[in-house]
Structure 1
């Protein structure tokens, strides 16, 4: 629509530019929006000073795995300063690696899927969202929380480095504290021609970032000298991170509700971990299924299996609390699922922090969860859900977590054969100690034999 203004002394109306006179028209609204984005900004609408830093960046990421076509991609907003890479104060693009990705004219990172630039943005975004998820969970009294990486200190604030294509032809991904990095593999599955990139899996990126977050809080838990359940807590935390991060996004919560008709024990992508990677390995339900009924007796001592016991209990508690609080006439199901996931995420994280720094067991964490649920003022049913679900899986829930014994170093190494790349990384097996023993033996032999030869 064009604006026409009658100008005196002219016989015919003059057609003026759409920007000349504000009009309640679609063309003017389009022009105004374009001008706000492209022209020099004027006086701020609120306050006397303009913001000193950008508000944040929009990114395009996979909602789950590329194979979960029902969900596909989504735009997300990352608040804060995001620079080319992408990178921020806590997360950096690893080098050498994918060339730094620059933001567009609007400061956003919107790239086409199935490109290395998209992979760099997607991986950074999921790592950033995971760190923010747990920082918010620990925030108190309006004060933001800081979660350090394992190497951070007053004098060392180095970020974690992210390598989306860091492990060519490797069917795995891992977090390394020595490298201060998250590295993701890519490979061609047997019988296929297309390469599979683990960094494109929302679940895998969240899982490995979960290991990095927990290592910053409990650095001794990754060591193999811990009892099997401590290793199970670490592996489970990675899986739960993927679940909690998915539930922190309202569109995914809505998709879960629609997919299951609000029955979380119905088949859902939320309970399946890394579907695309699992299919490549011949597993129809992904790498793991969170909605399971495994007990400690059935799991044995293999860390991967033990982790599913804890994950399954937490998933059941999530479903129990959601069903208990459900009031479709008062609150939207997706909003309730979002809130339930948010609370349970914080509850699990606080309970892990409260557990012993070495030799922690499922009982320690479960008992703290029950205690925190009471001190949080939640209905008594919450504590009962926690007690029931862990008891069914042969995990003791004590009235006071402080009365539980801490498992000492038994000298038995954990069986981590089926775990992710992080749990199988050599640096957490303390193999350097074995090499040191061999070096000491060599030095002792040299001292004895060379001394004898010199005296001969």
Structure 2
């Protein structure tokens, strides 16, 4: 679990052999996230080369404009490159100037490596790349002239976001976008790739779970947890930072996890189609957190409203929930934070462990959701599985009798 992961890598006093980097939890042009935070990854300093690079992945930053990869043009990149990011005298990378090109390379590497550490801790084993028969390592291109990012066979590359004033912000500094693209590679690695033409829900599942991987990974920043609970006073039913899967310039966002979409209200467009499944999982996270807080007597909510959905609550019920959680936050903020971390890890483990049970050729939302519920049951959390199935039913993903 990620608690164990953090305990092993956060401090030299614990015997950690990890390496320090600086990462922005959200894009640095957002208020409150202007300064990067120190993060440890599990790779020891003596196993990281300039680039950065290790045995799992490497960064190379092309000197001249490189077209985005598209078959038959594939890795490795062999052209001239900018000077790589290098470790300081102590073997760590947290000395780099955030305004430098080398910092961008170090940032995307550390973000991907940290996300890999998190999800390997949930899975309990090392992830083998789905492209391992062709490439030993993942190639990372941190900056290309393209308003997008992509995860492909043996590579990831990141363009730049342009705001309304044509200011450029590298997607390699956007943790949410990095985690989303990495999510596709994780799913391919653990579930495999289809051998026949997959259905639309398979592609919607990829977008949805990649969003959820980004969301759960984001919750491993202490600053994000603290800001989240402080801004909501502990009540996650309100719109907040957690819902903003990929931040862009200003207050725009790509997708929201907190939504009221059902299968009957979405189109076949993949990103739209992904919303009911994402919403069902997000609802489950919120309810796991709320119920656990109640069971630990951290907050007192009437039983008759604790099971209702945000979209079905009246004004009086919402005001009551807000008031009770605000009282709990003032008195027991640290315990609420620990409770949210537990809900995060329980959900992350169930999602990750479900991948090995799924067939990409026959996958649909009902099967994928039931597989996560089964993992809750196997972990001795049957109530969590029941909560998820109720949420899937409300979203019109499953029909239960």
Query: Do these two structures clear the TM 0.5 threshold for a shared fold by scoring above it?
Result: yes
1:115 aligned residue: 100
Give RMSD over aligned pairs. Answer: 2.4
2:128 aligned residue: 148
| Secondary structure in structure 2 of the residue aligned to 1:162 | strand
Change (3 A) 1:157 1:193: closer
Unaligned runs of 5+ in 1: 1-44, 140-144, 400-456
Residues 378-411 of structure 1 show CA distances to partners (whole Å, capped at 9, x for unaligned) of 2x43122111111011011679xxxxxxxxxxxx
1:31 aligned residue: none
Change (3 A) 1:89 1:397: farther
Change (3 A) 1:235 1:187: closer
Structure 1 residue 260 corresponds to structure 2 residue 232? yes
Change (3 A) 1:74 1:317: same
Shift of 1:220: 2.1
Separation in 2, partners of 1:269, 1:61: 17
The count of residues paired between Structure 1 and Structure 2 equals: 330
Change (3 A) 1:363 1:339: same
Name which of 375, 383, 394 aligns with 2:396. 394
State whether residues 85 and 92 of structure 1, in contact with CA within 8 Å, keep that contact through their aligned partners in structure 2.
yes
Change (3 A) 1:98 1:236: farther
Shift of 1:224: 8.9
2:137 aligned residue: 159
Separation in 2, partners of 1:355, 1:398: 21
| Secondary structure in structure 2 of the residue aligned to 1:275 | coil
State whether residues 163 and 184 of structure 1, in contact with CA within 8 Å, keep that contact through their aligned partners in structure 2.
yes
1:101 aligned residue: 85
State whether residues 367 and 397 of structure 1, in contact with CA within 8 Å, keep that contact through their aligned partners in structure 2.
no
Residues 215-255 of structure 1 show CA distances to partners (whole Å, capped at 9, x for unaligned) of 1123325x893111100111112111111101123332222
Structure 1 residue 175 corresponds to structure 2 residue 151? yes
| Secondary structure in structure 2 of the residue aligned to 1:342 | helix
Structure 1 residue 84 corresponds to structure 2 residue 50? yes
1:185 aligned residue: 159
Separation in 2, partners of 1:266, 1:121: 34
State whether residues 250 and 338 of structure 1, in contact with CA within 8 Å, keep that contact through their aligned partners in structure 2.
no
Structure 1 residue 208 corresponds to structure 2 residue 208? no
TM norm structure 2: 0.77
Shift of 1:102: 0.8
Structure 1 residue 68 corresponds to structure 2 residue 30? yes
State whether residues 186 and 198 of structure 1, in contact with CA within 8 Å, keep that contact through their aligned partners in structure 2.
yes
| Secondary structure in structure 2 of the residue aligned to 1:266 | coil
State whether residues 97 and 103 of structure 2, in contact with CA within 8 Å, keep that contact through their aligned partners in structure 1.
yes
| Secondary structure in structure 1 of the residue aligned to 2:38 | strand
Q: Which 4+ residue blocks in structure 1 deviate beyond 3 angstroms? A: 95-98, 187-190, 327-331
Residues 140-161 of structure 1 show CA distances to partners (whole Å, capped at 9, x for unaligned) of xxxxx111111114xx661101
State whether residues 224 and 231 of structure 1, in contact with CA within 8 Å, keep that contact through their aligned partners in structure 2.
no
Name which of 363, 366, 383 aligns with 1:363. 366
Change (3 A) 1:312 1:112: same
Q: Which gives a bigger RCO, structure 1 or 2 (Cα 8 Å, sep 6+)?
A: 2
Separation in 1, partners of 2:343, 2:184: 23
Bigger Rg, structure 1 or 2: 1
Choose between structure 1 and 2: higher helix proportion: 2
Separation in 2, partners of 1:366, 1:347: 10
Shift of 1:68: 2.7
Residues 326-359 of structure 1 show CA distances to partners (whole Å, capped at 9, x for unaligned) of 1335961111111211110110122233122313
| Secondary structure in structure 2 of the residue aligned to 1:174 | strand
2:318 aligned residue: none
| Secondary structure in structure 2 of the residue aligned to 1:347 | helix
Separation in 2, partners of 1:160, 1:65: 24
